[in-house]
Amino acid sequence: MHRLAQILSLVMLGFLMPRPGQAQQKSHDTIPVKFVLAGADTIPSITLSIYEVYGKLPRKFRKKRERWTRLRNAVYVTYPYAVAASRVLKDVNAELNQIPTKKARKAYLDTKEKELRAAFGDKLERLSVYQGKVLMKLIHRETGENCYEIIKELKGGFNARVFQTVAFFFGGNLKSEFNAEDDKDIEMIVQEIRLYNHFYN
């Protein structure tokens, strides 16, 4: 008799308890959950979300990752400007070859400089010193000329020297060049950009 009463109570409990996915009447002190019957016990069944837990990186690896993240950000920010500089330089050189007089060439360069300042001036001025250094390497990568040579060619040797002096005081060097061996991390990031942006291909 005791066994029968136990079975009947479990059956009644099974009818009263909500089934998985079954709605329960609103109550202020209960939360409907799925359950599992184990013998005479009713056990709430809750599926937890999966979370991945990683150990803290050693200090030297954290520093390496910080350097990589900083460089990657700088390349992503400045590479479009290097590509634009390459295109502009080709257009300017092609146009200068068609202009016969020195005066007309100077007037053309002044006009072009104003256009470029209007288009890129504010954006370039907001670059950090570090981003500026990366940009100079990328310009050399895209044009085959360092920034000093480009300024000297377009604005004259005196202007190139003035700009080089200013760059020096800010820790930069207009003569810095892209080196495939030393700058392989930059190259890797450039290839990543080109892979996902068909615009550059």
Tell me 101's DSSP state: S
Contact 25, 17 (CB under 8 A): no
What is the average pLDDT across 195-200? 70
Classify residue 29 as exposed, middle or buried by CB count within 10 Å of its CB (0-12, 13-18, 19+). exposed
The interaxial angle of helices 59-96 and 184-196, nearest 10 deg, is 70
Q: Is the pLDDT of residue 191 over 90?
A: yes
What is the average pLDDT across 68-73? 95
Asked if residue 45 is part of any domain, the answer here is: no
Closest CA to 151 of 143, 160, 161: 160
Closest CA to 82 of 137, 32, 37, 162: 137
Asked if residue 19 is part of any domain, the answer here is: no
Asked if residue 9 is part of any domain, the answer here is: no
In this predicted model, what pLDDT tens digit does every residue of 97-112 receive, in sequence order?
Answer: 888 888 888 888 888 8
What is the average pLDDT across 45-69? 84
Q: Which domain holds residue 133?
A: 59-200
Number of domains in the chain: 1
Classify residue 2 as exposed, middle or buried by CB count within 10 Å of its CB (0-12, 13-18, 19+). exposed
Asked if residue 16 is part of any domain, the answer here is: no
CA distances from 193 to 72, 76, 77, 186 (A): 10, 7, 11, 11
Q: How many CB atoms lie within 10 A of CB 169?
A: 7
Asked if residue 5 is part of any domain, the answer here is: no
Asked if residue 151 is part of any domain, the answer here is: yes
Q: Is the pLDDT of residue 84 over 80?
A: yes
Which one is predicted more confidently, 18 or 171?
171
Tokens of 170: 């800010």
For residue 43, give the 3-state DSSP assignment.
Answer: strand
Residues 153, 102: Cα–Cα separation, whole Å: 13
Phi (first) and psi of residue 85, to 5 degrees? -60, -40
Tokens 């390497």, residue?
Answer: 137
Asked if residue 168 is part of any domain, the answer here is: yes
In this predicted model, what pLDDT tens digit does every residue of 134-174 receive, in sequence order?
Answer: 988 999 999 898 888 887 777 777 666 766 666 665 667 88
Q: Is the pLDDT of residue 12 over 60?
A: no
Asked if residue 196 is part of any domain, the answer here is: yes
Question: Which residues are CB-contacts of 201 (< 8 A; sequence separation ≥ 6)?
Answer: 194
